[in-house]
Amino acid sequence: MIKINSKKLAKFLGLKAVRLLILLIVIAAISFIMIQLSPIDPVRAYLGQRIVSQEQLAIMGEYWGTNLSLGERVMGWLSTLASGSMGFSLIYRVPVTEVIVQKFTASLTLMVSSWIISGIFGFLLGVLAGAKEGTWIDKVIKTYCYILQSSPTFWIGLVLLMVFSVYLGWFPIGLSVPIGQLSDTVTFWQWLHRLILPAFTLSIVGIASLTMYTRDKLISVKKSDYFLFAQARGESFWGIIKNHGIRNILIPAITIQFMSFNELFGGTILVEQVFAYPGIGQATVAAGLRSDVPLLLGIVIISTIFVFAGNLIADIIYQYVDPRLRGEDDD
Amino acid sequence: MTEAPWYNKGLFSSLNLRQKTLLTIGLTGLVLFVIFICGWLIDANLPTDFAMKMQAPSFSHPFGTDWMGRDMFIRTIKGLSLSIVIGIGASIISSFIATILAFVASVNKWFDEFVSWLIDLFASIPHILLIMMISIALGKGAFGVIMAVAFSHWVNLTRVLRAEVLQINTSEYVALSNRLGRSKLWIAKEHILPLVLSQIFVGTLLVFPHAIMHEASVTFLGFGLSPHEPAIGIILSESMSYLAMGAWWLAFFPGLALLIVVLLFDIIGDNLKRLLDPGEANN
Amino acid sequence: MGKLLEVNNLSISFTQYVQGLNRHDLKVISDLSLDIGESEIVAVLGSSGSGKSLLAHTILGILPYNAHVTGDVKFNGEILDQEKKEKIRGKEICLIPQSVNFLDPLMKVSQQAVGECKDDNERKEKKIRQREVFAKYGLDESVDDLYPFELSGGMARKVLLSTALLNDPDLLIADEPTPGLDSKSVEETIQDIRKLKDQGKGVLLITHEIDVALKTADRIAIFYSGYVIEINKVENFLNSDNLLHPYTKALVDALPHNGFKLTEGVQPLEEVSGCPYYENCPISSDKCANNKPELIEHDGAMIRCFNFNKAVSEEVVDEVVSEEVVDEVVSEGPVEESVSEEIAEEVNGEEANDGA
CATH code of C175's domain? 3.40.50.300
Nearest CA in chain B to C49: B1
Q: Kindly report, residue by residue over C139-195, the tens digit of the pLDDT.
A: 888 888 888 888 887 888 888 888 888 888 888 888 888 777 778 888 888 888 888
Contact C18 B18 (CB under 8 A): no
Q: How many Å lie between the alpha carbon of A188 and the closest alpha carbon of chain B?
A: 25
Residues of B in contact with C22 (CB under 8 A): 14, 16
Q: What DSSP state is assigned to residue A88? A: B
Q: Which of C192, C224, C256 is the last residue of a domain?
A: C224
C13 vs B: CB within 8 A: no
Q: Are residue C41 and residue C139 in the same domain, yes or no?
A: yes
Q: Are residue C12 and residue C134 in the same domain, yes or no?
A: yes
Does C233 reside within a domain?
no
Does C122 reside within a domain?
yes
**Residue A50: per-residue pLDDT:** 67
Q: Of A199, A195, A201, A194, which Cα lies nearest the Cα of A155?
A: A201
Q: Are residue C219 and residue C314 in the same domain, yes or no?
A: no
**Residue B195: per-residue pLDDT:** 79
Q: Cβ neighbours of residue B148 under 8 Å, at least 6 residues apart?
A: B130, B131, B132, B133, B134, B135, B138, B218
3-state SS, residue B226: coil
Does C271 reside within a domain?
no
Q: How confident is the model at residue A140 (pLDDT cuts 50, 70, 90)?
A: very high
Dihedral angle at the C-alpha atoms of A133, A134, A139, A141, nearest 10 degrees?
Answer: 0
Q: Does the pLDDT of residue A328 top 70, yes or no?
A: no
| pLDDT greater at residue B23 or residue A213 | A213
Residues of A in contact with B252 (CB under 8 A): 158-159, 162
CA distance B99 to C14: 43
**Residue C180: per-residue pLDDT:** 72
Q: Kindly report, residue by residue over A20-77, the tens digit of the pLDDT.
A: 888 888 888 888 888 877 777 666 666 666 666 777 767 666 666 666 677 777 777 7
Q: Are residue C196 and residue C329 in the same domain, yes or no?
A: no
Contact A228 C57 (CB under 8 A): yes
Does C263 reside within a domain?
no
Q: How many Å lie between the alpha carbon of A282 and the closest alpha carbon of chain B?
A: 10
3-state SS, residue B10: coil
Q: Are residue C216 and residue C315 in the same domain, yes or no?
A: no
Average pLDDT over residues C264-293: 72
| pLDDT greater at residue B9 or residue C58 | C58
Contact B17 C28 (CB under 8 A): no
Q: Does the pLDDT of residue A116 top 90, yes or no?
A: yes
Q: Are residue C332 and residue C197 in the same domain, yes or no?
A: no
Q: Kindly report, residue by residue over A184-201, the tens digit of the pLDDT.
A: 556 677 777 778 888 989
Q: Cβ neighbours of residue A259 under 8 Å, at least 6 residues apart?
A: A310, A311, A314
Q: Are residue C199 and residue C335 in the same domain, yes or no?
A: no
**Residue C138: per-residue pLDDT:** 82
Share of chain C above pLDDT 70, in %: 78
pLDDT tens for chain B, residues 1 to 283:
333 333 334 444 445 667 777 888 888 888 888 888 887 787 766 677 767 777 777 777 777 777 777 778 888 888 888 888 888 899 999 999 999 998 888 888 888 888 988 888 888 888 889 998 888 888 888 888 899 999 888 888 898 888 888 888 777 777 788 777 777 778 877 778 887 888 888 888 888 888 888 988 888 888 888 887 888 888 888 888 787 777 788 888 888 888 888 888 888 888 877 777 654 444 4
**Residue A218: per-residue pLDDT:** 92
- Give the range with max mean pLDDT: A89-103, A168-182, C225-239: A89-103
Phi then psi for residue B71, to 5 deg, are -70, 125
**Residue C227: per-residue pLDDT:** 83
Nearest CA in chain B to C24: B7
Q: Residues A291, A40: contact at Cβ < 8 Å?
A: yes
Long-range contacts (CB closer than 8 Å, 24 or more residues apart) made by A171-176 = A171/A196, A171/A197, A173/B243, A173/B244, A174/A275, A174/A276, A175/A276, A175/A278, A176/A106, A176/A276, A176/A277, A176/A278, A176/A279
> DSSP of A67-86, one letter per residue?
TS-HHHHHHHHHHHHHTT--
> Nearest 5 degrees, angle CA B26-CA B29-CA B32?
150
Share of chain C above pLDDT 90, in %: 0
Residues of B in contact with A162 (CB under 8 A): 243, 248, 251-252
Q: Which of C224, C259, C279 is the last residue of a domain?
A: C224
**Residue A215: per-residue pLDDT:** 93
**Residue B90: per-residue pLDDT:** 92
Contact A234 C99 (CB under 8 A): no
**Residue A65: per-residue pLDDT:** 62
**Residue A127: per-residue pLDDT:** 94
Q: Does the pLDDT of residue C240 top 80, yes or no?
A: no
Does C214 reside within a domain?
yes
Taking a contact as any Cβ pair under 8 Å apart, which residues of chain B between 228 and 267 contact chain A? 236, 239-240, 243-244, 246, 248, 251-252, 255, 258-259, 262-263, 266
Query: Mean pLDDT, chain A, as a whole number?
Result: 82
CA distance C269 to C24: 13
Q: Are residue C220 and residue C340 in the same domain, yes or no?
A: no
Q: Are residue C219 and residue C106 in the same domain, yes or no?
A: yes
ipTM of the complex: 0.83
C53 vs B: CB within 8 A: yes
Residues of C in contact with B4 (CB under 8 A): 26, 269
Average pLDDT over residues A226-239: 86
Q: Tell me how many domains chain C contains.
A: 2
Give all chains having 3 or more CB-to-CB distances under 8 Å with chain B: A, C
Taking a contact as any Cβ pair under 8 Å apart, which residues of chain B between 108 and 167 contact chain A? 120-121, 123-129, 132-134, 136-139
Q: Does the pLDDT of residue C355 top 80, yes or no?
A: no
Q: Which of A232, A243, A244 sits opposite C95 (nearest CB)?
A: A232
3-state SS, residue A95: strand
Contact A34 B216 (CB under 8 A): no
Does C274 reside within a domain?
no
Query: What is the rounded radius of gyration, in angstroms, for the C-alpha atoms of chain B?
Result: 23
Domain extent for C354: 310-356
CA distance B135 to B127: 12
**Residue A202 exposed, middle or buried by CB count within 10 Å (0-12, 13-18, 19+):** buried
Q: What DSSP state is assigned to residue B12? A: G
Give me the count of residues in chain C. 356
Q: How many Å lie between the alpha carbon of B225 and the closest alpha carbon of chain C?
A: 45
Q: Which of B1, B4, B16 sits opposite C21 (nearest CB)?
A: B16
C28 vs B: CB within 8 A: yes
**Residue A123: per-residue pLDDT:** 94
Q: Are residue C219 and residue C316 in the same domain, yes or no?
A: no
Q: Residues C213, C193: contact at Cβ < 8 Å?
A: no
Q: Cβ neighbours of residue C341 under 8 Å, at least 6 residues apart?
A: none
Q: Which of C174, C204, C224 is the last residue of a domain?
A: C224
Q: Does the pLDDT of residue A126 top 90, yes or no?
A: yes
Q: What DSSP state is assigned to residue B248? A: T
Query: Mean pLDDT, chain C, as a whole number?
Result: 75
Contact A31 B133 (CB under 8 A): yes
Contact B1 C19 (CB under 8 A): no
Average pLDDT over residues C15-29: 64
Does C283 reside within a domain?
no
> DSSP of B16-57, one letter per residue?
HHHHHHHHHHHHHHHHHHHHHHHHHHS-SSPPP-GGGTTPPP
Does C322 reside within a domain?
yes
**Residue C287: per-residue pLDDT:** 77
| pLDDT greater at residue B50 or residue A207 | A207
CA distance C246 to C308: 7
CA distance C333 to C257: 9
CB contacts < 8 Å between A and B, how many?
128
Q: Does the pLDDT of residue A253 top 80, yes or no?
A: yes
Contact C97 A230 (CB under 8 A): no
Q: Are residue C39 and residue C178 in the same domain, yes or no?
A: yes
Residues of B in contact with C49 (CB under 8 A): 1
Residues of C in contact with B23 (CB under 8 A): none
